[in-house]
């Protein structure tokens, strides 16, 4: 792939891969490639995290079409070898963003959620995960994404305290007003009574003053690149907001 043609995105928009019914074709080094890409995405490149998360779902059922999509990530990395996480001295506190894409998986209609936390002008923690159950509304799926972000926020808060840095209350941004209200409202309604109890963990964090949830419009939501495939210009813009710069 040293002389491959580059591309501006790591994954095609509306890509809809299906499992290979024959199982993994071991002649292709698919798992090895996905493992390599996963290491890169976890270490320094949040902009390929969604693509790697999506492609890793086919580790036991891949075929030539899956391998071509994985090689597209290499073509993207080839064209962006000069970008990386860039940290700068800043007075801004640690804050996080959480987002989700409803029914992202066409196979089982489960949603994809993502979160990222920024400090010193760039991302220090990020994740893209397929949710465990089917969400019945956008409020539920965004609320679940907020809870995942809350768990990471509590971990980072403890880690920084061990380093002698106390941020006090950490802000998590969401682009869904209904999910924000669920995070503040302790009352169980007909629209939320089916939600798993563990998802309400964020309510305790808000009540105890550990976290606060604020609204950010969808256009400015950096975590959007962790939940879906995006066109090149928007990907580049959000990538820059996460501190992945030239």
Question: pLDDT per residue over 125-151, tens digit each?
Answer: 999 998 877 777 778 888 889 999 999
How does pLDDT run across 180-236, given as a tens digit for each residue? 888 887 655 545 555 655 667 888 888 888 899 999 998 999 999 999 999 999 999
Of 104, 99, 93, 102, which Cα lies nearest the Cα of 57? 104
How does pLDDT run across 89-99, given as a tens digit for each residue? 988 899 999 99
Specify the pLDDT at position 186: 61
Sheet with 112-119, edge to edge strand ranges:
122-130, 112-119, 95-101, 170-174, 211-215
Specify the pLDDT at position 103: 67
Residues 85-245, CATH architecture: 2-Layer Sandwich (3.30)
Of 137, 140, 114, 146, which Cα lies nearest the Cα of 224? 114
Instruction: Please state, rounded to an integer, the average pLDDT across all residues of the chain.
Output: 88
pLDDT above 70 for 14 = yes
Of the chain, the percentage scoring pLDDT greater than 90 comes to 63
Rounded Cα distance between 235 and 246, Å, is 14
- Identify whether the C-beta of residue 1 lies closer than 8 Å to the C-beta of residue 224: no
Other C-beta atoms within 10 Å of 227: how many? 26
Helix (H, G, I), strand (E, B) or coil at 206: helix
How does pLDDT run across 16-52, given as a tens digit for each residue? 899 988 766 778 899 999 999 999 999 999 999 999 9
Main-chain phi, psi angles of 123, to 5 degrees: -70, 140
- DSSP result, 102-146: TT--TTT---EEEEEEEETTEEEEEEEEE-SS--SSHHHHHHHHH
pLDDT above 60 for 67 = yes
Specify the pLDDT at position 173: 95
Specify the pLDDT at position 197: 55
Domain boundaries, the chain: 1-82, 85-245
Specify the pLDDT at position 198: 61
- Identify whether the C-beta of residue 224 lies closer than 8 Å to the C-beta of residue 104: no
Other C-beta atoms within 10 Å of 143: how many? 29
The more confident residue out of 137 and 75 is 75
Specify the pLDDT at position 192: 56
């Amino acid at each position: 792939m040293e002389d491959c043609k580059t591309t501006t995105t790591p994954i095609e928009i509306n890509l809809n891969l299906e499992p290979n019914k024959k199982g993994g074709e071991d002649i292709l080094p698919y798992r090895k490639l996905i493992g390599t890409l996963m290491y890169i995405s976890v270490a320094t490149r949040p902009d390929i995290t969604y693509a790697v998360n999506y492609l890793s779902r086919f580790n036991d059922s891949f075929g030539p079409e899956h391998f071509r999509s994985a090689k597209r990530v290499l073509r993207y990395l080839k064209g962006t070898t000069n970008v990386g996480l860039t940290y700068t001295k800043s007075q801004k506190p640690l804050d996080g963003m959480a987002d989700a894409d409803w029914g992202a998986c066409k196979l089982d209609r489960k949603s994809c959620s993502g979160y990222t936390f920024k400090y010193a002008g760039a991302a220090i923690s990020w994740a893209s995960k397929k949710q465990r159950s089917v969400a019945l509304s956008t409020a539920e799926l965004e609320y679940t994404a907020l809870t995942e972000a809350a768990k990471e926020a509590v971990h980072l808060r403890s880690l920084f305290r061990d380093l002698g840095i106390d941020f006090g209350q950490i802000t998590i941004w969401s682009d869904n007003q209904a999910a924000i209200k669920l995070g503040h409202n302790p009352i169980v309604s007909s629209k939320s009574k089916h939600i798993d109890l563990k998802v309400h963990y964020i309510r305790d964090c808000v009540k105890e003053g550990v976290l606060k949830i604020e609204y950010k419009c969808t256009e400015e939501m950096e975590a959007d690149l962790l939940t879906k495939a995006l066109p090149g210009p928007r990907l580049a813009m959000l990538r820059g907001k996460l501190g992945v710069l030239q």
